[in-house]
């Protein structure tokens, strides 16, 4: 069990990921200097300290959440689950004034109802705090101070404390969006999967609220994605005291000092002038400089320079598209020689109507829509 106060005590951490982005999340966490980073389906376990967990929340562009493992134990039934959760001392994190929420995932186990399993975990925690204080914490499903995650697989339970609070894709710069905005961490993952080098000029010609271009500019300028966030989950735990606040201030200050002003040309364009105004506001809030242009994809011209295009075209139920629209968009791209194109196609028509085969593709869901990130080298 982790030492609850010493911010340098060793911990097993877990970075939850959007499916399909685990490999690039591994690369990112290794680059950020975290140790024992391992590739898993659905997320990336690594080792570190509580302070490393803070840093991962601040610096990971791709993780959906950062969680700290509290305990693993056999859980063949609900009773064992209750007893296992009670072995953890929750009092450093939770008081009777703290709100909590529990989420559970159960796979291939006798405990197979995630709703009941979450209730059991909640009861075990609430009973422990009530026995300690005489009063019980309450549940807040929307915005709990402390979020607990339970995974049960093959009758073995793992209980995690969520360090992030609200999901990490919520950077705080996007006050307005269009109809089908992309999660910020998915945009960041697309840039890495596309193998963008942070030096070559980059264009998102269907930029919507500007997410991909903003993520690219923040990455190139080494702006830590969590710097604009109000508070992370761990900052709401009962044991987060003034010494921790000071350590967190210092960490934020250090990361601010590592921001570089140098970025390549990053252009955000869209056919829709209104959405471009939103993208401009979001870029200002994110502290990045982009070039903006109102323009249709059909009017794109080759710049004669090596360029990356990373984009998220319209598709699916939110923005209707047909094969002709897809064909028109892909035909315009196929004329841009010297371009690396990464397009998150949520309709099979994007791949079907392209005259070339993708260099590679990665399956990534965008919300509830099955997508392929298609990567082309246009010679």
Ligand X SMILES: C[S@@+](CC[C@H](N)C(=O)[O-])C[C@H]1O[C@@H](n2cnc3c(N)ncnc32)[C@H](O)[C@@H]1O
Are 267 and 204 spatial neighbours (Cβ–Cβ below 8 Å)? Answer: yes
Which range touches ligand X (CB under 6 A), out of 138-146, 161-169, 225-233, 313-321?
313-321
From the number of C-beta atoms within 10 Å of its C-beta (0-12, 13-18, 19+), residue 96 rates as middle
Chain residue at closest Cβ approach to ligand X: 208
Written as six digits, the tokens of 65 are 């959440």
Q: Using CB under 6 A, which of 60, 312, 339, 347 touches ligand X?
A: 312
Min separation Cβ 206 and ligand X, Å: 3
Q: Are 285 and 173 in contact (CB under 8 A)?
A: yes
Report if residue 181 touches ligand X, rule: CB under 6 A: yes
Residue 104 or 283: the one with the smaller Cβ distance to ligand X is 283
Q: How far is the CB of 168 from ligand X (least distance, A)?
A: 16
Which among 150, 7, 146 has a CA at the least distance from the CA of 72?
Answer: 150
How many amino acids of this chain bind ligand X (CB under 6 A)?
Answer: 21
Residues 120-156, buried b or exposed e (16+ Cβ, 10 A)?
Answer: bbbbbbbebbeeeeeeebeeeeeebbbbbbbbbeeee
Among 194, 275, 336, 364, binds ligand X (CB under 6 A): 275
- 211 near ligand X, rule: CB under 6 A: yes
146 touches ligand X by CB under 6 A: no
CB of 226 to ligand X, least distance (A): 19
What is d(CA 348, CA 362) in angstroms, rounded to the nearest whole number?
13
Q: Is 212 in the site for ligand X (CB under 6 A)?
A: yes
Least Å distance, CB 276 to ligand X, is: 9
In angstroms, rounded to a whole number, what is the distance separating the alpha carbons of residues 211 and 200? 18
Q: Which stretch binds ligand X (CB under 6 A): 27-35, 202-210, 243-251, 357-365?
A: 202-210
What's the min distance (Å) between Cβ of 308 and ligand X? 15
**Smallest separation, CB 64 to ligand X (Å):** 16
Q: In this structure, are residues 369 and 316 in contact, taking their beta carbons and an 8 Å threshold?
A: yes
Contact present, 321 and 313 (Cβ < 8 Å): yes
Euclidean distance between CA atoms 377 and 87, whole angstroms: 54
345 binds ligand X (CB under 6 A): no
- The residues binding ligand X (CB under 6 A) are 177-178, 180-182, 205-206, 208-209, 211-212, 270-272, 275, 296-297, 312-314, 319
């Amino acid at each position: 069990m982790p030492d609850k106060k010493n911010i340098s005590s060793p911990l097993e951490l877990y970075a939850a990921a959007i499916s399909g982005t685990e490999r690039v999340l591994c690369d990112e966490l290794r680059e950020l200097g975290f140790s024992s980073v391992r590739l898993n389906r659905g997320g990336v376990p690594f080792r570190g300290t509580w302070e490393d967990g803070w840093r991962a929340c601040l610096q990971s562009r791709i993780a959906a959440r950062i969680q700290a493992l509290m305990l693993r134990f056999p859980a063949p039934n609900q009773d064992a689950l209750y007893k296992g959760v009670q072995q953890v001392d929750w009092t450093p994190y939770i008081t009777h004034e703290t709100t909590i929420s529990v989420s559970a995932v159960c796979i291939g186990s006798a405990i197979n109802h995630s709703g009941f399993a979450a209730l059991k975990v909640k009861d075990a925690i609430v009973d422990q705090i009530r026995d300690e204080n005489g009063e019980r914490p309450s549940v807040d499903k929307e915005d709990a101070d402390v979020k607990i995650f339970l995974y049960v697989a093959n009758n073995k339970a793992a209980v995690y404390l969520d360090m992030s609070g609200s999901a990490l894709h919520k950077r705080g710069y996007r006050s307005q969006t269009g109809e089908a905005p992309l999660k910020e961490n998915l945009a960041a993952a697309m840039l890495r999967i596309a193998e963008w080098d942070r030096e070559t000029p980059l264009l998102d010609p269907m930029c919507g609220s500007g997410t991909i271009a903003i993520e690219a500019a923040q990455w190139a300028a080494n702006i830590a994605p969590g710097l604009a966030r109000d508070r992370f989950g761990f900052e709401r735990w009962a044991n987060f005291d003034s010494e921790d606040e000071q350590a967190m201030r210092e960490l934020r200050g250090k990361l601010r000092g590592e921001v570089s002003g140098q970025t390549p040309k990053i252009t955000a364009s869209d056919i829709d002038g209104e959405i471009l105004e939103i993208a401009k506001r979001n870029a200002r809030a994110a502290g990045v400089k982009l070039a903006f242009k109102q323009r249709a994809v059909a009017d794109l011209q080759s710049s004669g320079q090596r360029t990356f295009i990373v984009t998220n075209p319209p598709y699916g139920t939110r923005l209707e598209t047909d094969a002709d629209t897809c064909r028109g968009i892909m035909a315009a791209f196929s004329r841009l020689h010297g371009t690396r194109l990464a397009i998150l196609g949520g309709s099979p028509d994007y791949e079907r109507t392209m005259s070339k085969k993708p260099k590679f593709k990665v399956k990534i869901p965008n919300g509830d829509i099955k997508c392929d990130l298609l990567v082309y080298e246009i010679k």
